[in-house]
Amino acid sequence: MANRRFRNLEQKLHSELLSSFPTIKEVITDEKVEGYRHVAITVYDHWLSEKEAFEEFKEMSAEKQKINDDKLHSFICGLTSNYESYLAKFIGRNKKRKVSFRAFNSEVAKNRTLKPLSYLASNVRRFIIIIPSLELIYMEGWDFTHHVYLKNDALIGALKMEAMKSNVYVL
């Protein structure tokens, strides 16, 4: 148990989070949900065209991958250090599949969990974070672009401030 990165929440807090994010399952599974604004956190200052993306990812060096991953890691670690945050995970299968929230056991555990996977890895093991005070869902992406779903547009300023510190962009 000493090596676990996160722990289950008390039922009361878990229920409060589910009532604050009642459509989180639909957001995570990429269904269209009203009431959320989607923004991207990325290492690029614009949306890449198909040609640009092909050239960028064709023969990306390990050094470039690390630089990009470090920028995104810095961003999410900075953001979660300023606000209470929880890991969201799917448990169960098929129709019985539901979202479970977990708390991190320490800052070290959080930083390890928030380390981006290789851009070539599938989405199955990528992290999903919720930050209740910002009313947002943060999902790790695979192409050096992470996705944020905001309930309140007025809170986008917090994302932009942290993005500037980490040298990433909000698109």
Question: What confidence tens digit (pLDDT) does each residue in 108-134 have?
Answer: 888 888 988 876 666 667 889 999 999
User: Which domain does 80 fall in, by range?
Assistant: 6-170
Ramachandran sector of residue 138 (left: φ over 0; alpha: ψ -120 to 50; beta: rest): beta
SS3 letters across 94-145: HHHCEEEEEEECCHHHHHHHCCCCCCCCCCCCCCEEEEHHHCEEEECCCCCE
- pLDDT attached to residue 30: 77
Q: Please count the structural domains in the chain.
A: 1
Burial class, 27, CB count within 10 angstroms (exposed 0-12 / middle 13-18 / buried 19+): buried
pTM: 0.89
Question: What confidence tens digit (pLDDT) does each residue in 26-61 have?
Answer: 888 876 778 899 999 999 999 999 999 888 888 889
- pLDDT attached to residue 1: 47
1 within domain boundaries: no
